Amino acid sequence: MGHGRVRLLAIAAIFPLVIAACSNGDDTGGGADDEPDEAAEAVVAVEDSELGQIVVDSEGRTLYVFLVDETSESTCYDDCEANWPPLTVDGEPAGDGVDAALLGTTERQDGSTQVTLDGHPLYHFAGDETADDVNGQGVGDVWYVVSPEGEAITA
C-alpha cells in the first residue's frame, strides 16, 4: 500500500472523531435558542448541592418542579415555558441515583415528551447559567429543586 493511500485511510478513520469533537451535541435542530440540549435519552442524576441532594440533567444542570402542576400534566407554556424549559426526551428517560420506577413521561401540547419524576414534570430554569446554579429555587414560591424521591425541596 502506498503512503498516499495509508494517509487517506488514516484521515478517513479520524474524520468522524474530529466532527464529533467539534459538535456541540445539539441534534435537536433548535439552532440559536438557549434551551438545554435534548438528548435521545434524557438522563437524570443526583448531585450534592447547598440544598442537599438534588436532581440534575445529564449535563449537571439543576432540575425543578412547578407546584402549580398538580398532576403529571404540565401547565407551563408560552412565557412560562420560555423561562422554564421542560426536560424532554425522545424515548424513555434513564436515571443515575434516581429510582427508575419514579421516572416517567407526559405529553406536552406540542407533542414533545416531558420527563417526570414521581409524577412531577421536570424543568430547567433559563436563569441558571452554569451547572451548579440553583437560581430558580423558590421563585414565586412555586418553583423548587427536586429531591431524588421526586419531592420539592422548599427549605
Using one digit for the tens of pLDDT, what is the confidence trace for 110-134?
A: 999 999 999 999 999 999 999 999 9
Residue 87 CA to residue 106 CA, distance in Å, equals 11
Question: Model confidence over 90-113: pLDDT tens digits?
Answer: 999 999 999 999 999 999 999 999
Which amino acid is present at 131?
Answer: A
Among 91, 2, 134, which Cα is nearest to 123's? 134
Under a CB-based contact definition with an 8 Å cutoff, are residues 115 and 95 in contact? Answer: no
What are 107's three cell numbers?
405529553
The DSSP string of 63-87 is: -EEETT--SSS----THHHHHS-B-
**Residuewise pLDDT in 10s, the chain (155 residues):** 554 433 333 333 333 333 333 333 333 333 334 444 444 467 899 999 999 999 999 999 999 999 999 999 999 999 999 999 999 999 999 999 999 999 999 999 999 999 999 999 999 999 999 999 999 999 999 999 999 999 999 98
